Amino acid sequence: MQDFSILTLPALLQRSVEKFGELPAVAFVGETPLTYSEFNKRRLSIISLLEKLEIQPGDRVALLSANMPNWGVAYFAITSMGAVVVPILPDFSVNEIENVLTHSEAGAIFISQGLKSKIVNLKPENLLHRILIDDLSLIETNREGIRFNEGSNPVKKYKVADDDLAAIIYTSGTTGKSKGVMLTHKNICSNAIASRSIQEINPEDRFLSVLPLSHTYENTIGFILPLICGASIFYIKKPPTPAVLLPALKSVRPSLMLTVPLIIEKIYRSKVLPEFQKNKLTRTLYAIPPLRKKFNRLAGKKLKRTFGGELKFFGIGGAKLDKTVEKFLREAKFPYAIGYGLTETSPLLAGVNPLNTKLQSTGPPLEGVTLKIHNPGKLTGEGEIWAKGPNLMKGYYKEPELTKEVMTDDGWFKTGDLGILDDTNYLYIRGRSKNVIIGPGGENIFPEDIESVINNFKHVAESLVIQQKGKLVAMVHFNREEVEEKYQHMKGEFSDYIEKKYEELSKELREYVNARVNKFSKIQEVFLQKEEFIKTATKKIKRFLYAKESHAS
């Protein structure tokens, strides 16, 4: 940290502008990047615009936008003048957006063209100014004759302290109500700087950004971290479907990327595994461990080429990675890395680079972070993960009681996750304490472990294990396209046949799972989930929505 004496966002950016001024900073794929100097000039022009709109230090300014270069410029402009940025996830519902704008009392909002319709009918009383982030034009304001002028400079000088509030981030958790997490400049900056200890990043590096910038994981590790290292970041204009992503990967040839488990699990199950399962011979050969390793190594080389051929760090975070998929990545020698954190911790608490991963571990604590297992079980060593460090949030906005529930008087943050630390200080996550199901004999049953087995059964896209009237029940979403394509040759009543097939698959699945889990974790019923499950920004299923339904039934 010696190179970073002032832990504020404007100080970090100033240092990068001085060091990397004419190097490319941010761009859409296929377009000319803004250099670090141009990024900074536009930031000053946005501060000038916000001054004309009478935004003061401490005021909240919301940011509801798809990923783009101007997202980052606006983020730095807001925080550099001592105002507080309120990033909103693009997939929040109109209702959730209204709650965030009202609760945060945001006075202005930057919004992208594609999301404008989400706020057109919202009238929070504090929201006076709406700015189109794509070209920085004003959509609505109570002040006349004001427009954005590229090249204009602020009138005032701003002093920002490291303990000043920088952002309020509303989490879309798996457990219900959104909470506003208050992060200071020091929280965010210290976390980005410490993350350099996991992986060396230099000005030649290129990031391809596919996760929402309004999520702390992408924000700190995929945006602020590359900017303090002089790297360049590329954004795509459309959602990252394969048709959009493949040409982008070819064009950018990223050296670093951040994703969530669901992305790589889908690639493995839909692209890699079918190649090895397509006929009896390959299935038989793939079942022999030395041959499987050779097959996986070849698949890994192909996968690396698909990602542009220059990938050295493929970060996976936001949820637990499936064990079977991780074994494949290890045997494929694919440069995956693992991290663990929460919005409340800015986010990173533990992480490891591709050379030092251990199966199913999220790696050791991040530099400057202390982790401990609270009340570890005598036999298992398992308990709640508690954390301490400069990256711990200031608290939940306007929620002192909720803050007290998760922060101890002596400065520990209770993560709500259960885990163990091994003798090399590597962390292993067992699951969310709120998700644990207590068995009839008081056993701890981790639904995530059972879901991991279910998700490796043929045609399963995703699953959720819950307790219903004392029984363990699996809600399963099959890949209907895959199933229907496989059996489309059937004559007669196709739809009747398919429904029957799902019944057979469900029965087969139950037997498959129960042969592979301990006696407390056996599932008693399988329910078909026709639609995809509703998920958070990091693609974790919003469990509370389905647990509610199960209590009601």
List the structure tokens of 542. 């919003």
Fold of 9-228: Rossmann fold (3.40.50)
Residue 446 phi, psi dihedral angles, 5° rounding: -95, 110
Q: State the pLDDT at residue 548.
A: 60
Q: Are 418 and 436 contacting, i.e. CB atoms less than 8 angstroms apart?
A: yes
Nearest to 182 by CA among 58, 32, 319, 354: 58
Asked if the peptide bond before residue 347 counts as cis, ω within 30 degrees of 0, the response is yes
Q: Are 413 and 388 contacting, i.e. CB atoms less than 8 angstroms apart?
A: yes
Q: State the pLDDT at residue 172.
A: 64
Partner residues linked to 181 by β-bridges: 169, 396
> In a 3-state reduction of DSSP, which class is residue 387?
strand
Please list the pLDDT of the chain residue by residue as tens digits (553 residues): 557 899 999 999 999 999 999 999 999 999 999 999 999 999 999 999 999 999 999 999 999 999 999 999 999 999 999 999 999 999 888 988 999 999 999 999 999 999 999 999 999 999 999 999 999 999 999 999 999 999 999 999 999 999 999 999 998 654 556 799 999 999 999 999 999 999 999 999 999 999 999 999 999 999 999 999 999 999 999 988 888 999 999 999 999 999 999 889 989 988 899 999 889 999 999 999 999 999 999 999 999 999 999 999 999 998 889 999 999 999 999 999 999 999 999 999 999 999 999 999 999 999 999 999 999 999 899 999 999 999 999 999 999 999 999 999 999 999 999 999 999 999 999 988 888 887 776 777 889 889 999 999 989 999 999 998 888 999 999 988 888 887 776 655 666 778 888 899 999 999 999 999 888 899 999 999 999 999 988 888 988 888 764 433 3
Query: Domain extents for the chain?
Result: 9-228, 256-309+311-432, 437-552
List the structure tokens of 108. 């202005």
pTM here is: 0.88
Q: State the pLDDT at residue 173.
A: 55
Rounded Cα–Cα distance for residues 453 and 438 (Å): 19
Residue 347 phi, psi dihedral angles, 5° rounding: -115, -20
Q: State the pLDDT at residue 551.
A: 39
Fold of 437-552: GMP Synthetase; Chain A, domain 3 (3.30.300)
Instruction: CATH number for 256-309+311-432: choose from 1.10.10.10, 3.40.50.720, 3.40.50.12780, 2.70.70.10.
Output: 3.40.50.12780
Angle between the 69-80 and 36-52 helix axes, to the nearest 10 degrees?
Answer: 60
Q: State the pLDDT at residue 358.
A: 98
List the structure tokens of 476. 């399963």
Rounded Cα–Cα distance for residues 6 and 26 (Å): 24
Are domains 256-309+311-432 and 437-552 of this chain identical in fold? no
Q: State the pLDDT at residue 481.
A: 85
> In a 3-state reduction of DSSP, which class is residue 468?
strand
How far is CA 307 from each of CA 201, 253, 267, 297, 310, rounded to the nearest angstrom? Answer: 18, 7, 12, 15, 8
Cα dihedral across residues 364, 366, 368, 374: positive or negative: negative
